[in-house]
Amino acid sequence: MPANAVVIGVDSSTQSTKAAFTDAATGRLLAVGRAPHRVTGEGGARESDPAIWWSALRDAVAEGLNALRAAGADASAVTGIAVAGQQHGLVVLDGAGVPLRPALLWNDTRSAPQAAALTEALGGAGAWTARTGSVPVASMTASKWQWLREHDPAAAKAAAAVRLPHDFLTERLCGVAATDPGDASGTCWYSTATGAYDPELLDLIGLDPSLLPAVAPAGGTRVGSLTAAAAAELGLPAGIAVAAGTGDNMAAAVGLGLGGAGLLDHPVLSLGTSGTVFAATRSRPASPALAGFAAADGTYLPLACTLNCTLAVDKVAALLGLEREAARPGGELVLLPYLDGERTPDLPGASGLLTGLRHATTGQQILGAAYEGAVVTVLRALDEVTRACGEDPAAPGAADRPLRLVGGGAQGRYWVETVRRLSGRPLIVPESTELVALGAAALAASAASGDDAVAVATEWGTGSGRALDAVERDTETWERVSSVLDRASGPLLS
């Protein structure tokens, strides 16, 4: 790797693109460029034009280059780039690589009926987890493809290529149709048992395997070089290394320096648009309650995801006319902020629920109850991840294991305090706030140098941060919210 080399990690999320210009030797963040996305749709629909992702990547890189120049460097120092993208989204392209329609995003819940039908068609949840590690839900790409076949058959029939969001951008960068095992494992047509696309599952959903990108080996694999056309658009040197990239959750794990070695000392809770919990392990998970993903480094990343996290709580704050930090504990209230349905538990048709309202209830308590509902939901999902990694979450000492808290919510005082109060666990809040982009940067550095991406990120130290001691767990609130959640599988919310 040349001295003073710079790599770019791209975080293409639901709401925006970030381009992190990173010192390849130290992991120091030199510059960050940002550009927004546009999400459309009402009810259960959530769509974006993939062309917006490319223009946002271009704008974010341009902004980052301007900041890089102000810091005394320039584009000639850049040696590699990798994209980490929002998982599960369905992109269909024509023969020229042009999107045939807006992409269906991970939080588009319209394909819930197709997910249920697919689960039954293969013989139930166990049959799916045995092959893919996951059960189809509305979030998964296979369910979305099935929905497209039924509701937009012209687009499905005309498709010359099917891509995930990060695959689409990687192909625009280097002209190579490639994905990685991590993001591919979120499709429900890739088998974590065999490490390849599953022909029987592709046949079940009527998807021609020739439409799919090749699956690159795990790690920061170099799949190509930046084309002259892409280099001209981005203002970067042609020929620099382009990594296979991965999904956003897998990239965050790389950015934290996580590699599977049994149950991790620090499982991760990410507070973003969605709330996710995951841990890296060398044991292949197969729990119907989880997404049994592959990790970017060749291990596994059992993960549970809740649809309603920071955006849902912010919506409640806006409805109440309050700042997000103006919350107080909910008291007798329970508020399940299922404003977009829910994924874990699998309740795609659910709406929000408020119970326990009194004359004395304040708006601050209602907002606090929204935090509590979101946090209890995601912490219960963490218990499932812990079980998938081979440990009983109620076992002595299990709650002593620190929990890494990441995502935008980890920068919010009330989010952090609510997680502390309801988990009763010590927390580590990494200083690095752009962990997905930094994980992608580590993959880019790996593609440029051949070094192991997780080892690169570990050397950078991007997963370190401030430690917070455990506080006494608020079991009263936990049990009150849990009792309502336990009824959520019945007619109350479904």
The answer to whether the CB of 358 falls within 8 A of the CB of 154 is: no
pLDDT at 263: 41
* pLDDT tens readout for residues 394-423: 888 777 888 999 988 999 999 999 999 999
Q: Which segments of the chain have a pLDDT < 50?
A: 261-265, 491-494
pTM score of the predicted model? 0.87
| Amino acid identity for residue 189 in this structure | W
Domains, the chain: 6-249 (3.30.420.40)
* pLDDT tens readout for residues 336-385: 999 988 888 888 889 999 999 999 999 999 999 999 999 999 999 999 88
pLDDT at 489: 57
| Amino acid identity for residue 30 in this structure | L
Burial class (CB in 10 A: 0-12, 13-18, 19+), 261: exposed
* pLDDT tens readout for residues 378-394: 999 999 888 887 778 88
- Residues tagged in the binding site annotation: 87-88
pLDDT at 260: 54
pLDDT at 265: 47
pLDDT at 262: 41
pLDDT at 321: 98
- Residues tagged in the binding site annotation for substrate: 87-88
Catalytic positions, please? 248
pLDDT at 406: 92
